[in-house]
């Protein structure tokens, strides 16, 4: 993260604020979205064709609708636990849903 300050005092104050963010794990870790990170990973991942097809389906159906616009640095364990709980509910609630559609259970 960058910041520009007009005075040394303002710069020291900004440095303290940035250090506090890092200490509280609130700083942005990357300036890309999860969708961008997944796309970059899929471009270089060495996967069998059937595995790639399955991953692409899972990404399209579950990951991107939920986290696609999320800045990668904001992804944390709590979000993942809630997402996993939602998928677990969906397994039961969406069993009759036709394949290739987005899960919308909450």
| pLDDT (tens digit per residue) in 31-61 | 789 899 899 999 998 889 999 999 999 899 8
Measure the CA–CA gap between 32 and 82, rounded to whole angstroms: 22
Q: Which two tokens stand for residue 97?
A: 């849903």
- Give residue limits of the domains in the chain: 1-30, 31-106
For the four alpha carbons of 38, 44, 48 and 49, in that order, the dihedral sign comes to positive
Note the CATH number of domain 31-106: 1.10.150
Residues of the chain scoring pLDDT < 50: 105-106
**List of residues 6+ apart from 23 with CB closer than 8 A:** none
pTM score > 0.85 for this model? no
For the four alpha carbons of 94, 98, 102 and 104, in that order, the dihedral sign comes to negative
**Where would I find the beta strands (DSSP E) of 1-106?**
none
């Amino acid at each position: 993260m960058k910041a520009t300050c007009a005075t040394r005092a303002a710069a020291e104050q900004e440095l303290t604020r940035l250090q506090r963010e890092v200490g509280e794990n609130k700083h942005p870790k990357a300036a890309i979205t999860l969708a961008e990170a997944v796309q970059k990973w899929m471009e270089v991942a060495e996967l069998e064709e059937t595995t790639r097809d399955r991953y692409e389906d899972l990404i399209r159906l579950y990951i991107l609708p939920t986290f696609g616009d999320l800045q990668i640095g904001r992804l944390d364990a709590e979000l993942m636990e809630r997402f996993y709980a939602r998928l677990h509910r969906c397994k039961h609630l969406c069993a009759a849903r036709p394949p290739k559609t987005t899960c919308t259970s909450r």
